[in-house]
Amino acid sequence: MNLSELTNGQEGVIVKVKGHGAFRKRIIEMGFIRGKKVTVVKNAPLKDPIEYKIMDYKVSLRRSEARLIEVISRREAEEMDARTYNGTITDDLLARKATEKRKTINVALVGNPNCGKTTIFNQASGANEHVGNYSGVTIDIKTGHFHHKGYTLKVSDLPGTYSLSAYSPEEVFVREHISQETPDIIINVVDASNLERNLYLTSQLIDMDVRTVVALNMFDDLQRKGDKLDYQQLGTLLGIPFVPTVGSRGTGIEELFAKVVDVYEDKIEEARRIKINYGENIEKAIDAIEKKAVNFPEITSKISSRFLAIKLLEKDKVFREQIDSEDFSPVIKETEKQIVKLEELFQEDTETVITDARYGFIAGAMKETYKENPQTRRRKTDIIDSVLTHKLFGFPFFFFFIWLMFQATFRLGEYPMGWIEEGVAVLSQWASAILPAGPFTDLIVDGIIGGVGGVIVFLPNILILFFFISFMEDTGYMARAAFIMDKVMHKIGLHGKSFIPLIMGFGCNVPAIMATRTIEDRNNRLLTMLINPFMSCSARLPVYILLIGAFFPDHPGTVLFLLYGTGIALAVIVARIFKRFLFKKSDTPFVMELPPYRLPTLKSTTRHMWFKGSQYLKKMGGVIMVASVIIWFLGYYPRQNAQTEAIEKQKQELVQKYTELKKHTDGEVVDKIETEQQEKLEHLDHLQEKLRHEGSYIGRLGKSIEPAIEPLGFDWKMGVSLLSGVAAKEIVVSTMAVLYQTDDAEASGNAQLIAQIRNDKYPDGTPVFTTLSAISFLVFILIYFPCVAVIAAIRKESASWKWALFTIFYTTGLAYFLSLIIYQVGQMF
């Protein structure tokens, strides 16, 4: 608990002092150090400030300052020691419990995108977060914990950011996490092969006056290039210990966290406070603003007054909004005065002046500690880029790779897909054989095994798709794809940075929409969200594979490629329309890092692939199984209606008629009569099952919407499948598997379902599914209502229901319109 939570007369022992820099130093100098007992004397009439007794003297603190001192009360000690508590909590026991609690260290991982933060996080915590070789993989905070030499380290992996300015949501998020959550130690992960750019963020952490350890990651890349870095000297210059690491191999991770513990315990000499000297004139301006700011501890208790002054000079809009009131007018007036003075002196914007000074400091530190290999040689990355990002060869390579991905998804997936189909068929046969006939057996065989089995057969295809996407991300090619597509994206009013979330949409639209946070411009961010559902996610893949396998078996990879291409083309057209009529055009500069190519380890790529596959399997046991059971129930009941009873009567009359015939016939004629009887009974059985389905609850629902979807070439079964697909697109296939059930226990496999779809006919004998209606259905699946999870993601990321509801209506309306045109125009030919 925090010191501010203690009430009058209560006492506790100090566990740790949070906060940073001058505030923390002042509090410690006043005697608020770990292990000391502190007692609340009284609160002021307005509950602020609060008077405390510590080391036999009294001192008052503001409530905002007391919140940054963590203590353990007697009550907390009792709860921690509940098993051995004997009714008395002595001061020694209280102090011992404070020491135990203090051994929990809150650590935040901060660094540029693509510097290896998440790799280190995974190595340390054993978590399974995806690591990608491009900007924007970590789009939210991830937390994990592990034990190290008697300490519990709670590690938070923050979004990648190039600075602590206010240009993107990531920058503000990271800055606010550091100031509001006040982690004990910051691990600043830097890319050793690109030090100058990475140290810009480090310099801002120095200004924030936070306790920091630098993980000099990818140190092997620096050594491989033949460069030399005296990282110990660099750490001494910056007042921050440096630890070389190779996150992908786990090298240096133990040493890194050992250093974190030492800094936390104040055992490291090089971990000291320094000030970056920005030059005489800027320093005078910073000092003048600081003198005004220190009179407002409600601001400076959680953030360094120096960092605040620098950010105000840089015209940081978030900080300015936080102090933009009459209460802080002295700080605002002083800031405006100093900005005018500096801009007149330098004839330059103050933000540029400070940025130049910061890079000057970095250049000076690098000059003393870093030596580049004098041997000039063309880097491997440059050689590969000369082909893959070439203005002529870049596009053919990109489209070939995408086409290859879809071909492999089909061709390589055929074999394991067949094995799973056989397994599902065997399981159905086994369940039918051992269970007694009745509704429960039908539920197991047709509802659960048929519904879930109809979708699980596509797991190999989805794993292959994710393997390719993961490979593109991990090697660094995904960033090149964005680079070569930048000019095309500009044509539709976006830029290359929007291409990454769109490509991610091929895996799943939900994280893809979350990845739009890396786009600084709000209009571009919203536009990217709105067109992202046109990227065919892996959930739609089972539907595509099913219908392509049924109607386009000769060229499956090419048809799938064209289907994905249609989604991309629609995204382009819709983006242009929306950019013209919904969003004001704004041309945001395209800035995207092109990381060096790295050959990913088979372990990391396979782990990502299997992680996505396991999420798919969890869907099998969750939403898809529940949906399959519900759809089975709605399709199974009522068991009889007037039409099925009439068919049943016909069957009885038929049996009676042929029984009489057989009494007066013998020999080979009896065999012919029995064969004829069997054929007619099978026809009536099929007709009875069809009428029973149409009379079921789900059949009635489908029949009610059939008039609306009939112009698209859809029957009621397709309509019901589309409705169920609102929850998750995979359920479209499981719904079909349940609706097209037969009495044959082997009919759970994908091949049998394809055969049933091909053979399904209307009462007049015309096929329900034709090549044309299949195309219309595929286009509808491609475009209409993205799943509920996607709508929720759009609502969250746009902070508005307006855009979420707009997505529902415009995608479904567009799907109806295009399918109508395809089917109606197609029938003319």
**Three-state secondary structure along 418-449?**
HHHHHHHHHHHHHHHHHCCCCHHHHHHHHHHH
Give the whole-angstrom CA distance, residue 320 versus residue 774: 58
- The residues with which 11 forms a beta bridge, in sequence order, are 39
Band (224; pLDDT cuts 50, 70, 90): confident
Instruction: Give which of 177, 207, 206, 172 is closest to 320, Cα–Cα.
Output: 172
217 near 246, Cβ under 8 Å?
A: yes
Look up tokens 């508005």; give the residue. 800
Q: Which two tokens stand for residue 513?
A: 């929409």
Band (741; pLDDT cuts 50, 70, 90): low
Give backbone dihedrals phi and psi of 71, rounded to 5 degrees, phi first. Answer: -130, 170
Q: Which amino acid is at 323?
A: I
Asked whether the CA dihedral 658, 662, 665, 669 is positive or negative, the reply is: positive
Band (134; pLDDT cuts 50, 70, 90): very low
Instruction: Give which of 797, 186, 827 is closest to 528, Cα–Cα.
Output: 797
Three-state DSSP state, 112: coil
Quickly count: other Cβ atoms within 10 Å of residue 475's Cβ.
20
> Of the ranges 160-174, 213-227, 319-333, which is most confident?
213-227
297 prior amide bond cis, ω within 30: no
Q: Is the pLDDT of residue 815 over 60?
A: yes
**Mean pLDDT within 302-322:** 84
Select the more confidently predicted residue: 317 or 169.
317
Q: Is the pLDDT of residue 75 over 80?
A: no
> Of the ranges 245-254, 324-333, 401-410, 695-704, which is most confident?
245-254
**Which residues 6+ apart lie within 8 Å of 242 measured at CB?**
214, 216, 231, 232, 234, 235
Give the whole-angstrom CA distance, residue 277 versus residue 283: 7
Q: Which amino acid is at 347?
A: Q
Q: What is the pLDDT of residue 821?
A: 94
Give the whole-angstrom CA distance, residue 213 versus residue 252: 13
Q: What is the pLDDT of residue 747?
A: 40
Q: What is the pLDDT of residue 590?
A: 46
Give the whole-angstrom CA distance, residue 128 versus residue 612: 11
Q: Is the pLDDT of residue 23 over 80?
A: no
Give the whole-angstrom CA distance, residue 8 versus residue 52: 9
Look up tokens 């200004």; give the residue. 207
Give the whole-angstrom CA distance, residue 709 versus residue 815: 11
Apex CA 293: angle with CA 287 and CA 299, to 5°? 135
26 near 14, Cβ under 8 Å?
A: no
DSSP states along 471-503: HHHHHTHHHHHHHHTHHHHHHTT--GGGHHHHH
**Which residues 6+ apart lie within 8 Å of 485 measured at CB?**
398, 496, 499
Quickly count: other Cβ atoms within 10 Å of residue 671's Cβ.
9
Q: State pLDDT tens for residues 555-567.
A: 888 888 889 889 9
Band (807; pLDDT cuts 50, 70, 90): very high
Band (98; pLDDT cuts 50, 70, 90): low
Band (805; pLDDT cuts 50, 70, 90): very high
Exposed e or buried b per residue across 793-826, where buried means at least 16 C-beta atoms within 10 angstroms of its C-beta: bbbebbeeeebbeebbeebbebbbebbbebbeee
Band (221; pLDDT cuts 50, 70, 90): confident
Give the whole-angstrom CA distance, residue 371 versus residue 388: 31
Considering only 64-78, 118-132, 467-481, which range has the smallest mean pLDDT? Answer: 118-132
**Mean pLDDT within 617-633:** 69
**Mean pLDDT within 725-751:** 64
Q: What is the pLDDT of residue 743?
A: 40
DSSP states along 760-801: -B-TTS-BS--HHHHHHHHHHHHHS---HHHHHHHHHHHT-H
Give the whole-angstrom CA distance, residue 616 versus residue 462: 9
Count the alpha carbons within 13 Å of 345 in the hemisphere toward its beta carbon. Answer: 14
Q: What is the pLDDT of residue 439?
A: 80
Q: What percent of the chain has pLDDT over 70?
A: 84
Q: Is the pLDDT of residue 89 over 60?
A: no
**Mean pLDDT within 623-642:** 74
> What's the burial of 31, exposed, middle or buried (CB within 10 Å: 0-12/13-18/19+)?
middle
Q: Is the pLDDT of residue 78 over 70?
A: no
Quickly count: other Cβ atoms within 10 Å of residue 290's Cβ.
20
Give the whole-angstrom CA distance, residue 66 versus residue 54: 13
Select the more confidently predicted residue: 109 or 440.
109
Considering only 24-28, 220-224, 696-700, which range has the smallest mean pLDDT? Answer: 24-28
743 near 735, Cβ under 8 Å?
A: no
Integer-rounded Cα Rg, in Å, for the chain is 34
